[in-house]
């Protein structure tokens, strides 16, 4: 499998680190106030900015398998109806009738050419157009074209569905937004993958604590001493700042064998876990042969939702394949739970007064880069 010049440089850098006993580091420490995790006003600002003004990955293309399919989602605090219309295009709307505000559907997914409000049967197609209403004469000369569902910016790229969950006059060029990561994402062929498992967890911790578990590998041999630790080099990673996104390459121990191979024969993916932070709240976590899509959503200052989609190259065709993917699923659930249990224990102690700030070490690079991008967005220095 051919690798990109960027991946060739990642391998060269990690081999040099292994030879020198070093790792990537930032110039200085960063100090993050504990109020980031405890202040309801900060949490409200983050929801209003990060979770309304920026595109968020809401699913995989196979979850809208054909024309007239739809999915719904309320976890962002906005009732979303995401559809694939008769032309195969992905659309997103508020799942709210324009007559009296009732939800059009409570089904998590389905197929339909039209959806009718259960209250008064106003009916909409999957392009959001108001197609009909009973006893229309009672509403005079209303313009049905002005009473379609409220549309939200939606995109389908790299086999993933992206939605900006608010109405805005500000344009959104998703291709430009994700351009720093596009070469890598395009190479993954995620549109040809299938969903093996999808799950959603309510956790009792600030959303930053859940996000931060993916933003450094310093904790691997602490939190994951008996699980993930042995699978990777200890605290040796390569970080690429793709502002506001981040590519984090975590090497497997066997990467050192590449030093004796011709670089033309190097295999990147088989030797790395790649953790891709997609601002503001997604991670595309690339394993050696499958991929996880993570979405972390605040539901309060001390609670969040963790969503995950496990993507595999093809549906299991044999019992052996099913056991293999089930084992991978079981392992990742165990590893994630180790992070979440620690995150919830941190949340319990935040108001004790032991810490006024947290230290982000020089090799906790993802924490530093991610925090800077979030601060920039909250201060209006970062927009789509």
Q: In Å, what is the CA distance from 78 to each residue of 72, 73, 84, 110, 152?
A: 10, 8, 19, 19, 11
Cα–Cα distance for residue pair 298/75, rounded to 1 Å = 9
Percent of the chain with pLDDT over 90: 97
CB 99 within 8 A of CB 120: yes
Cα–Cα distance for residue pair 254/352, rounded to 1 Å = 43
Closest CA to 15 of 26, 7, 25: 7
CB 132 within 8 A of CB 123: yes
Cα–Cα distance for residue pair 164/372, rounded to 1 Å = 21
- Which domains are assigned to the chain? 5-53+174-378 (3.90.380.10), 66-163 (2.102.10.10)
3-state secondary structure of 55: coil
CB 102 within 8 A of CB 81: no
Cα–Cα distance for residue pair 59/79, rounded to 1 Å = 15
Residue 27: how many CB atoms within 10 A of its CB? Answer: 6
Look over the chain and give the mean of its residue pLDDT values, rounded to a whole number. Answer: 96
What is residue 1's predicted lDDT score, i.e. its pLDDT? 60
Q: In Å, what is the CA distance from 359 to each residue of 116, 224, 235, 241, 279?
A: 53, 21, 17, 20, 22
Mean pLDDT of each 10-residue bin along the chain, 384 residues long: 91 97 96 97 98 98 97 97 97 98 97 97 97 94 94 98 92 96 97 98 98 95 94 96 98 97 96 98 98 98 98 98 98 97 96 93 97 98 94
Q: What is the pTM of this model?
A: 0.96
Per-residue pLDDT reduced to its tens digit, 15-60: 999 999 999 999 999 999 999 999 999 999 999 999 999 999 999 9
Q: In Å, what is the CA distance from 280 to each residue of 81, 87, 245, 364, 383?
A: 21, 30, 8, 18, 11
What is residue 351's predicted lDDT score, i.e. its pLDDT? 84
Beta bridge partners of 130: 124
Tokens of 102: 């009732």
Residue 166: how many CB atoms within 10 A of its CB? Answer: 17
CB 163 within 8 A of CB 92: yes
Residue 59: how many CB atoms within 10 A of its CB? Answer: 24
Provide the b/e sequence for 355-367 (b: ≥16 CB within 10 Å): eeebebeebbbbb
């Amino acid at each position: 499998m051919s690798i990109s010049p960027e991946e060739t440089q990642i391998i060269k850098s990690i081999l040099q680190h292994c030879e020198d006993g070093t790792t990537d580091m930032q110039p200085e420490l960063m100090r993050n106030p504990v109020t980031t995790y405890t202040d309801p006003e900060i949490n409200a600002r983050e929801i209003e900015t990060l979770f309304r003004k920026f595109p968020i990955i809401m699913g995989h293309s196979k979850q809208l398998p054909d024309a007239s399919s739809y999915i719904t989602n309320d976890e962002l605090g906005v009732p979303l109806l995401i559809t694939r219309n008769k032309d195969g295009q992905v659309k997103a709307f508020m799942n709210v009738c324009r007559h009296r505000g009732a939800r059009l559907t409570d089904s998590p997914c389905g197929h339909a050419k039209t959806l009718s409000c259960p209250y008064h049967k106003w009916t909409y197609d999957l392009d959001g157009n108001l197609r009909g209403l009973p006893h229309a004469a009672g509403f005079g000369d209303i313009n049905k074209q002005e009473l379609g569902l409220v549309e939200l910016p939606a995109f389908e790229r790299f086999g993933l569905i992206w939605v900006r969950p608010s109405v805005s006059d500000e344009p959104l060029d998703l291709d430009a937004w994700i351009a720093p990561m596009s070469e890598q994402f395009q190479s993954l062929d995620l549109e040809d993958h299938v969903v093996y498992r999808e799950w959603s967890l309510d956790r009792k911790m600030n959303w930053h604590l859940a996000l931060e578990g993916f933003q450094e590998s310093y904790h691997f041999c602490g939190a994951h001493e008996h699980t993930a630790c042995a699978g990777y080099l200890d605290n040796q990673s390569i970080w690429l700042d793709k502002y506001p996104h981040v590519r984090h390459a975590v090497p497997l121990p066997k990467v050192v064998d590449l030093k004796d191979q011709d670089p033309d024969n190097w295999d990147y993916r088989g030797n790395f876990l790649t953790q891709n932070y997609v601002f503001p709240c997604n991670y595309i976590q690339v394993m050696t042969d499958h991929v996880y899509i993570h979405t972390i959503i605040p539901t309060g200052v001390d609670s969040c939702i963790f969503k995950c989609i496990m993507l595999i190259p093809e549906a299991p065709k044999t019992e052996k394949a099913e056991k293999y993917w089930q084992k991978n699923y079981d392992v990742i659930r165990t590893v994630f739970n180790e992070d979440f249990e620690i995150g919830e224990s941190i949340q319990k102690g935040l108001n004790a007064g032991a810490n006024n700030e947290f230290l982000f070490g020089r090799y906790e690079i993802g924490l530093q880069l991610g925090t800077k991008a979030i601060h920039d967005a909250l201060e209006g220095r970062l927009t789509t």
